[in-house]
Amino acid sequence: MKNDTTRRHLLRQGMVIGGAAIVGAPALLSASAHAQAWPSKPVRIVVSGPAGGLTDAFARAYGEYIAQKIGQPVVVENKAGASGIIAAEMVGKSPADGYTLLFTIATTMVMNRVLFKSLPYDPDKDFVYISYMDAGHLPFVVHRSVPATNIKEFVAWARNNKVSIGTYSAGSYSHIVVAELNKAFGLNMEPVHYRGEAPMWQDLAGGAIHAATGSYQAGASVLSTGAGRAIAVPQTARMKKLPDVATFLEQGVTAKAFQIRGWVGLLAPAGVKAEIVERLSALMVEAGQTPRIRQILDTFGIDNAASGHQAFAQVLKEESPVWIDVVKQLGITPQ
C-alpha cells in the first residue's frame, strides 16, 4: 500500500520508468506540448501599407491560405504610415510566439536605415525573415510626346531637352532610377516627387512630366490608352506582361540598381521557434501556387510567387548592400 502511494506521488510529480522517477517531467511535457500546440489561437498579420495596395492584397490572400491550413483565423490589421515604421515597431516588440507577424516592403527593412537618423527597431536583430514575394518589375515609361522607344533614344533626346521624371516618393526606387540614369549618362534630369503613384501617373498621362517609373498595375491605364509607352524594365529578365520591352541591362545600362528587385516580405519577431518559421515558410510557397494568388500576380504584373526563408536570406545578403549604397548616393538628409 505504501509503495503504491509513493508511486502515485511520483506520478503526480514526474514520471516512473523502470521504477525510477524523472523529476521535472511534467514541465518537459508541458514545454513539448506548448511547442506542438502552435497555433492554438488566431494569428495576427500587421501590414505596413494601407488597404488596397499590393502589400495588403498579398497579406490577405496568403493569410487566408495559411488560415485554412493551420485551422485558426488569420486577422489582417493595417498599420500604415511613417514609411513602415509604425508596423515594424509594433511587431518587433511583440512576443516571439508566432501569433504576430509582419507584412512589409524592402523600404521598411533596408532603405529606412539611410532615410532616418534612428529607428525604433533593428532590422537585423529584431526580426526573423520568413518569406519574400517579388514586388514585380517597375517599368520606365515615357510620355507619348517623347520621341523614344528605348533608352539610347531617350538619352539622346534628354541631352537636348530639360527633362522631368516622376517618382512616387523621395528615396523610392523611382527616385533611384532618375539618379542612376543621370549618373550613367552624365545627364541632369529633374526628379519630381509625388505622394504615391496615382498623382504621378495622372501627371504623366497629362504631359506634365516626361517620364515615370512605377508598378505595372498602377500605370496600366497610361500604357493601355497610349498616353505613355514603356521603354525599359529593371531586373535581369524581361517582364511577362511586357515581353517586347528590353531590360535596362539588355540595353547596356549595367548599374546594379537596375538589376535588384523590390520585395514584400513576411517577418516575425526574432526568437520565434524554428519549426514555426519552417512551417510558415512552406505554407507561403504552397500558397503561391493557388489560383487566387496566381490571379493577383497577373493583375499586378508580377512574374514570381513567394519564396521561402532560405531564398529570402540570400536576397537580403546579395541585394541589401546595393540598395543601401544607391540610397546613400541620393544625398537625402535623414529625417
Neighbours of 313 (CB within 10 A): 12
Report pLDDT for 21: 37
Backbone angles phi, psi at 262, to 5 degrees: -80, 160
58-97 pLDDT tens trace: 999 999 999 999 999 999 999 998 889 999 999 999 999 9
| Cα–Cα distance, 239 to 97 (Å, whole number) | 39
Q: What are the structural domains of the chain? A: 43-136+264-329 (3.40.190.150), 140-258 (3.40.190.10)
| Cα–Cα distance, 163 to 141 (Å, whole number) | 13
Question: Which residues of the chain are under the pLDDT cut of 50?
Answer: 1-3, 5-35
22-65 pLDDT tens trace: 334 444 444 444 445 899 999 999 999 888 888 999 999 999 99
Closest-CA residue to 320 (of 48, 123, 89, 116) = 123
If residue 46 lies in a helix (H) or strand (E), which one and from where to where?
A: strand 43-47
Closest-CA residue to 169 (of 251, 102, 84) = 84
Bridge-based pairing of strands 228-232 and 164-167 is unpaired
If residue 224 lies in a helix (H) or strand (E), which one and from where to where?
A: helix 216-224
By CB atoms closer than 10 A (0-12, 13-18, 19+), residue 265 is buried
| Cα–Cα distance, 102 to 92 (Å, whole number) | 9
| Cα–Cα distance, 53 to 236 (Å, whole number) | 25
- Contact criterion met (CB below 8 Å) for 308 and 282: yes
| Cα–Cα distance, 187 to 233 (Å, whole number) | 20
Report pLDDT for 36: 55
> Which residue in the block uniquely carries the three cell numbers 490577405?
60
Residue 17, C-beta contacts closer than 8 angstroms, at least 6 positions apart: none
| Cα–Cα distance, 168 to 170 (Å, whole number) | 7
SS (H, E, C) 107-132: HHHHHHHHHCCCCCCCCCCCEEEEEE
Residue 269, C-beta contacts closer than 8 angstroms, at least 6 positions apart: 91, 92, 93, 94, 95, 96, 100, 126, 127, 128
Report pLDDT for 335: 83
By CB atoms closer than 10 A (0-12, 13-18, 19+), residue 254 is exposed
- Contact criterion met (CB below 8 Å) for 217 and 145: no
Report pLDDT for 172: 86
User: How does 10-35 read in b/e, with b if 16+ C-beta sit within 10 Å?
Assistant: beeebeeeeeebeeebeeeeeeeeee
Report pLDDT for 331: 86
| Cα–Cα distance, 66 to 300 (Å, whole number) | 21
Q: Which amino acid is at 156?
A: A
| Cα–Cα distance, 140 to 234 (Å, whole number) | 8
Backbone angles phi, psi at 86, to 5 degrees: -60, -50
- The pTM of this model reads 0.81
